[in-house]
Amino acid sequence: MKLDELDITNYRNITSAHFVPSPDLTVICGNNGQGKTNLLESVWLLTGGKSFRGSKDAELIKENEDYSVVEGVVSSADEISDIRIFIGGEASEKKGRSAKVNGVDYGRATSVAGKFTSVVFAPNHLSLVKGSPDGRRRFIDAALCQLYPSYITLYRRYMRQVAQKNALLKNLYKTPNALQLLDVYDDFLVEYGTQLCERRQTYLSSITPDIIKNYDDISSGSEQLSIEYVKSFDGDMQAALEATRKKDVYAGFCTVGPHRDDFEITINGKSAKSYASQGQQRSAVLSLKLAEAAGIQAVTGDHPVMLLDDVLSELDDARQEYLLTRMKNKQSIVTACDAGLFDKTDGKIYLMENGMLKIFN
Ligand SMILES: Nc1ncnc2c1ncn2[C@@H]1O[C@H](COP(=O)(O)OP(=O)(O)O)[C@@H](O)[C@H]1O
Ligand SMILES: [Mg+2]
């Protein structure tokens, strides 16, 4: 998958920009607050997804303007498409986010999903290592949802069942036949939960060799990463639910099951969450993101475009060099504040200054 060119109108602080990234590596340099992340975010819009900063439509439109347009020409292994995303503000005739592909109306922007695939690394993704288990579960669930629509159905069924059981646990003494009802809910939880666990574990094992290899490359073989899915219970789920029944009743919620699972990342045998430096954590997240992208390629046949926002800070020279010279065969767009990087990269360089994009080399 490649982004061949991009035209931006009235997007955040960018009034107008024409961007032609290299098929390999492009570096966008500029000081803080100039519009580098805004540019990456506009590329991401072509996936049909929400802004990766979780912003509302109105925030994406340049101040004092009525609408914003992001139009990109993207090519996959078998087609070239022109994706045009229009964002209409309150005063606009057409409100909200809509899309056209090759001039044909596609309705809501989300309907272009799949035409352009991309994986983002944003600084807040460091929470994948540092943060709570729900961010890590989301990483696996989001990837599986993107890859397999059947996973979304399974995931929703399971989560609905958890919500139902939690509601019952909170009103246990007011509900007639509560214990029989709990048995019925548990049967469904076991049916869906066991499948969910298996699919997550299968996915994680399938990308684990790649994650380990990426980390080995980024750290020039000096450190070893390992990763392991950690279930919230031992053995079989039915037995686990029976064993924790009293605890669940006391807690008022369902304390075991895939909704409480996690995965643990270790670097040289030590927990990355507690021991790793910022640079090591960044490298670990990057290894996960690159593996996620390779996983998408394995299923769709196309490697997604990598959008790496502020990934270089806190990485040592060797790690920066890896990112700036060795990520061939996959299109990557990287932002950085450090102008000293110019000498280190063989990529195409753009400068972003106050919303103006200029080519440097
Ligand atoms: N809707 C908007 N209209 C105008 N400017 C905006 C809008 N949204 C954000 N900005 C401006 O964009 C700038 C931040 O851009 P950003 O891409 O995050 O910077 P950086 O280069 O550090 O990544 C800020 O100055 C902010 O005020
Ligand atoms: Mg930024």
Is the separation of the CB atoms in 140 and 200 below 8 Å? yes
- Kindly tell me the burial class for residue 268, based on how many C-beta atoms sit within 10 Å of its own C-beta (0-12, 13-18, 19 or more): middle
Nearest of 277, 274, 313, 307 to residue 131 by alpha carbon: 274
Task: State residue 345's pLDDT score.
Answer: 84
350's enclosing H/E stretch is: strand 348-353
* Residues in contact with ligand 1 (CB, 6 Å cut-off): 12-13, 30, 32-38, 59, 61-63, 352
Containing structural domain, residue 19: 2-117+303-359
pLDDT digits (tens, 9 = 90+) for 145-161: 878 878 989 999 999 99
Whether residue 280 is contained in a domain is answered as no
CATH number of the structural domain spanning residue 265: 1.20.1050.90
Rounded to the nearest angstrom, the distance between the alpha carbon of 33 and the centre of ligand 1 is 6
HEC assignment per residue over 119-176: EEECHHHHHHHHCCHHHHHHHHHHHHHHHCHHHHHHHHHHHHHHHHHHHHHHCHHHCC
Task: State residue 256's pLDDT score.
Answer: 97
How high does pLDDT run on average in the chain? 93
pLDDT tens, N- to C-terminus, the chain (361 residues): 999 999 999 999 999 999 999 999 999 999 999 999 999 999 999 998 777 887 898 999 999 999 999 999 999 988 999 999 999 999 999 999 999 999 999 999 988 988 999 999 998 899 999 999 999 999 999 889 878 878 989 999 999 999 999 999 999 999 999 999 999 999 999 999 999 999 999 999 999 999 999 999 999 999 999 999 999 999 999 999 999 999 999 999 999 999 999 999 999 999 999 999 999 999 999 999 999 999 999 988 999 999 999 988 888 988 988 888 767 778 999 999 987 777 788 889 999 999 999 998 7
Q: Are residues 271 and 147 in the same domain?
A: yes
Is the separation of the CB atoms in 168 and 181 below 8 Å? yes
Q: Are residues 250 and 192 in the same domain?
A: yes
Task: State residue 147's pLDDT score.
Answer: 82
Q: Tokens 């100039």 map to which residue?
A: 34
How far apart CA 230 and CA 253 sit, in angstroms, is: 20
Is pTM beyond 0.95? Reply is: no
Q: Are residues 157 and 241 in the same domain?
A: yes
Q: Whose CA is nearest to atom 20 of ligand 1?
A: 33
Rounded to the nearest angstrom, the distance between the alpha carbon of 14 and the centre of ligand 1 is 8
Cα distances (angstroms) measured from residue 161 to each of 148, 158, 172, 230, 255: 21, 5, 16, 22, 13
- Which amino acid would we find at residue 20? V
Whether residue 296 is contained in a domain is answered as no
